[in-house]
Amino acid sequence: MQIAILLYDRLTALDAVGPYEVFSRIPEAQVVFTGERTGPVRTDIGSLGLVVDAPLEEVTRPDIVVVPGGPGQTALMADGPVHEWLRAVDATSTWTTSVCTGSLILGAAGLLKGKRATSHWLALEQLPALGATPVSERVVFDGKYVTAAGVSSGIDMALTLANRLGGDFLSQAVQLGIEYDPQPPHDAGSPAKAPAEVVEFLRSRSRFVLEGAE
C-alpha cells in the first residue's frame, strides 16, 4: 500500500507530518513525499525544510493521497501540474484525502464537486465556490474522499482511516505507539469551545492565519 503525501512551498508542517506519523506505522504501508520538484520545500513560516523525495511524475498509482494545507495553498488554486497529478492519481486511488486548507486544493482541482467536505474552520466558507458542501466536523467522509479540519486534525483523520483499513486493533496500536492521549491545557480547539474573544481575534486575522498575509 503506497501513501503519497504532497509537499509544496509554504505548507503547514503538522498537516503533513500528523498523517505521516500514523500511516508510517501501518505494516505494509510505504509513505512517499512527492511534489513538483525534488529537494526541500520550506514550511509556512519558513523555519523548517521538508524534503520531496519523488517528483509527481514518478508517483502514479498511490493507494492513498494526502493533500496538506497551509499558506502555500493559495498558489495551488490555478490549474497546473499539481491539479493534473491530483486528477490522475484520484482516478485509481482508494482514498483521496486532505488536511486543513488542502481541501481547497482538492476542490480547485475539481474533485469535491457535490461532496460533503471540511477544512480549517476559518476556510469552510470557501468550499461552496468549489462545488463542495461545507461540514463543520473534524473528519468528513464522502465516499472515498476524506477531508479533515485544521492542522492537527490530520492525526485523527489518519487514525480513523487506519481503523477502516485495519480495524480497531491496528488503530489502537498506532494510537498507543504515538501515545496520542491529548491533554492540552485548555479545551479551546474549536470555535464552539474556545472563548469568544479568542475566536474573534483569529477571525480578525483570518488572512494571516490561513495565508500568512500581513
- Of the pair 91, 168, the CB lying nearest a second copy is at 168
Q: Does 202 bind a second copy (CB under 8 A)?
A: yes
Q: Does 96 bind a second copy (CB under 8 A)?
A: no
Work out the number of other CB atoms within 10 angstroms of the CB of residue 151: 20
Q: Does 197 bind a second copy (CB under 8 A)?
A: yes
Phi, psi of 98 (to 5 degrees): -150, 160
Q: Contact region for a second copy (CB under 8 A) — 36-44, 59-67, 72-80, 102-110? A: 36-44
Burial class (CB in 10 A: 0-12, 13-18, 19+), 142: middle
Q: Which of 4, 14, 111, 146 binds a second copy (CB under 8 A)?
A: 14
In the window 143-182, what residues touch a second copy (CB under 8 A)? 149-153, 155-156, 159-160, 163, 168-169, 171-173, 175-182
Pick from 90, 79, 152, 84: nearest CA to 121: 152
User: How far, CA to CA in Å, does 5 sit from each of 47, 76, 192, 193?
Assistant: 20, 15, 30, 30
Whole-number Å distance between alpha carbons of 147 and 60: 21
User: Minimum distance from CB of 126 to a second copy (Å)?
Assistant: 16
Residue 188 per-residue DSSP state: -
Q: Is 31 noted as a catalytic residue in this protein?
A: no
User: Minimum distance from CB of 114 to a second copy (Å)?
Assistant: 25
State which H helix or E strand residue 97 sits in: strand 95-99
Q: Does 95 bind a second copy (CB under 8 A)?
A: no
Q: CB-hemisphere CA count at 13 Å for 62?
A: 29
- Of the pair 15, 90, the CB lying nearest a second copy is at 15
Per CB under 8 A, residues contacting a second copy are 12-14, 17-18, 20-21, 24, 30-33, 40, 43-45, 47-51, 53, 100, 120-121, 138-139, 149-153, 155-156, 159-160, 163, 168-169, 171-173, 175-186, 188-191, 193-195, 197-199, 201-202, 209
- Catalytic site residues? 100
